[in-house]
Structure 1
């Protein structure tokens, strides 16, 4: 059963991520048939102001004792990376007592510091995934998902993915009817498709070689034609073997993978900014067919071209006004 939720806040708190926890568990929707939740906002010391990342203080009503007996410990995102022994001991004790743990975005660092991510699948914001791996090498970090449900441990990706994780937990514990009511009131889908990859900005890899940079610039201007390693090597005035070795050293990937990524990036822009059909997008981006575009696009981005367009075309239209 899910009735008592303790939201753990550690300065500097990021307010949006904290707000996702409050929005799902802190509003009384019993009139709409949603079972009531008791939400305890817990800091290290009750009543002691906590600074947020935007310079506004918040005052938790509970101290760490508020974690005791909670069905769910929801760890909000924080800019901190070092945590007191008292905080870590309280989180470990709650886990040992049977509480479900949920982290939003960088809240995963608290769970990692407490040793609760060891040998378990988890996630965090894609921009923090490498740091989480480095700090807690036993954690099995997956940067490509919106959240990971590992039973009594749920970790979410960045920002709005906290909504996905919280709604997923409500669905898991209380059923679809309850989560649909909450999602409808929040004006969000009860479940999103895809993972973080669709939200990750994929920049063109920087090439430091004066010999390769003109070749890569030329490829970017001619993505809609085929490029073999031999053709590119001749353009760079190198042997095939030397070109392939230099290419990997400079870009960190093979020519084929690099070109495929650039074609996916081109397709993303066309899907966002134009009303071209899928086949025309495929032709303009160099994939040749809609089937090939769908295959590579889903592999790189995590969703189909059509789903990507539904999510991002409206965003681009608004940004253009």
Structure 2
């Protein structure tokens, strides 16, 4: 056994046609004897299954079957998975999103190593099979809001008209004329539409905390207006919480008519003073 591979020189020459002076005739990283007796492969062919990976790499590096071009049976060869798509040749669904690696690569053009190719918060499978959105584009309807956030808010990710614009909390935000039922803290429909912008912004920025300040005009007693402005601020907080904003991110306070921004002697001034303010506190 000149090369010390475990085969006699006679066996190498007459039976297997291997080189008795080289322990690894085909140079694939496995000895001739290992190929013949352990792995049942061809010691003269360094890539027995023709998948683009050497037999040695399949056994020693990737743990794949060197006699099967597609070890996991997902439709992609082991060589394609390892060298081209960087997916796992031993797993049919590398990223666990419910789509096979083959489907992702050849049918949907998604990334088989990322469960959420476009990063919108929805898995590729959910986008394709459940919501019928584009798994390659975060905002399928191009309405200004990512598909995942639309689904979270109960909106239609295929309809741009229902996308809610967000707002900036870089400075105090004043909502004059936030409408409540007369002398009560019950929000009217138009007020809710305005507040939905706040909801969208807070849901998109989960670390932001805000204070909601309620203000009133001069009509009525000081105690009544103080109580009413506080109740209205609480009503706004309750609406935000109902829409998914955690209540511990919001504090409220009512100021009655103690902080006017306009003259209470005119109808226009009183209208400006009846307001809700949002102040970012964190």
Q: TM-score, normalised by structure 1?
A: 0.25
Q: TM-score, normalised by structure 2?
A: 0.28
Q: Compare the two structures and name the one with the higher helix fraction.
A: 1
Structure possessing the higher relative contact order (Cα contacts under 8 Å, 6 or more residues apart): 1
